[in-house]
Amino acid sequence: MASKSIDNAFTAKTIRGAATDPTYAGALSFMRRRYTKSLENVDAVILGIPFDAAVSNRPGARFGPQAIRRASAIFDNDPQYPFARDLFQQMAVIDYGDVLLDYGNHQETPALIEQEAAHILASDAYLLSLGGDHFVTWPLLKAHAARHGPLALLHFDAHQDTWDDDGKRIDHGSFVCRAVREGVIDPAHSIQVGIRTEAPDDFGIRIIHGHQVEDLGGQAIADMILSHVGEAPCYLTFDIDCLDPAFAPGTGTPVAGGPSSAKMLSVLRKLGPLDIRGSDIVEVAPAYDHADITAIAGATVAMYMLGLRAERLARSLTK
């Protein structure tokens, strides 16, 4: 037992390398990363955003960051499948904890999220955010665009989120509309995957509809994404309701007819060539979950996001 760790989130002596906590015990940071606010020598940061006051249907995504962190403990300490590597051997990752939000002053929420994200991005670290409902992507996009310029949006979802608003609403269904109108994203290189609802406008964003996802294989979907986004810097947002409710029942606005977690993970695995500048996983609402099905899917999506980042970092170190 001398080589084993416990509560690595607090006791870790380094921000690199795998933890050895039992999957059923220990402090529940994301993948046992050390909890710290220090951004020194950090390659990637996990940030929780416990907010769900913008939902149009079932609330509960404010508990998403907790659920995703808890589910991430299931990842053992062997090299992570399918990346066949310890993601943290070369990539220093921390869990920064959560954004502090005032539940009684939602009008302050966008600025608080944007400020926290901007502070992290100023360190040059990659930011992976755990939502929270999909409104949180709006201030995250603003912070990333301020750092990197307008971004292509790679958007996995059952919904387009292009509903009109007045630029002030706190609404999880209109952030894409706002991002296009304010020049935060580049619609010509943006793409949405898994859409199976109707919205009034697509703003020129390419859509791979749910029925197309059903008919296509993972490689074909990935090829369409890679071709459309190209070399543009992009932001990856994954709404867990992109998945069929059979694979993600714990979400606020489930839509039948979606893809399996296996298919979407297969697509994500093939996106290594993309220049992904930041990412989030949103809309995990554990109150509607069963046996952590949705939380496990969300944690795995987040792990894949880190895996892609680890591979990109490894390639840069060998040049």
pLDDT of residue 226: 98
Confidence of residue 224 (pLDDT cuts 50, 70, 90): very high
Does 2 score more than 60 pLDDT? no
- State the average pLDDT over residues 74-94: 90
pLDDT of residue 167: 82
pLDDT of residue 318: 78
- State the average pLDDT over residues 240-267: 98
pLDDT in tens, 85-105: 999 999 999 999 999 999 999
Structure tokens at 88: 């943290």
pLDDT in tens, 291-319: 999 999 999 999 999 999 999 998 888 76
Contacts of 164 (CB under 8 A, 6+ apart): 174, 177, 200, 201
Phi-psi label, residue 68: left if phi above 0, alpha if psi -120 to 50, beta otherwise: alpha
Query: Does domain 8-318 match CATH 3.40.50.140?
Result: no
**Residue-averaged pLDDT of the chain:** 95
pLDDT of residue 112: 97
Confidence of residue 212 (pLDDT cuts 50, 70, 90): very high
- Regarding pTM above 0.85, the answer is yes
pLDDT in tens, 25-58: 989 999 999 999 999 999 999 999 999 999 999 9
pLDDT in tens, 115-163: 999 999 999 999 999 999 999 999 999 999 999 999 999 999 999 999 9
DSSP-assigned letter for residue 289: -
For residue 260, the one-letter residue type is S
Beta strand pairing call for 93-98 and 152-156: unpaired
How far apart are alpha carbons 21 and 51 in whole angstroms?
A: 29
**Sequence spans of domains, the chain:** 8-318
Greater confidence (75 vs 214) lies with: 214
pLDDT of residue 102: 93
pLDDT of residue 165: 86
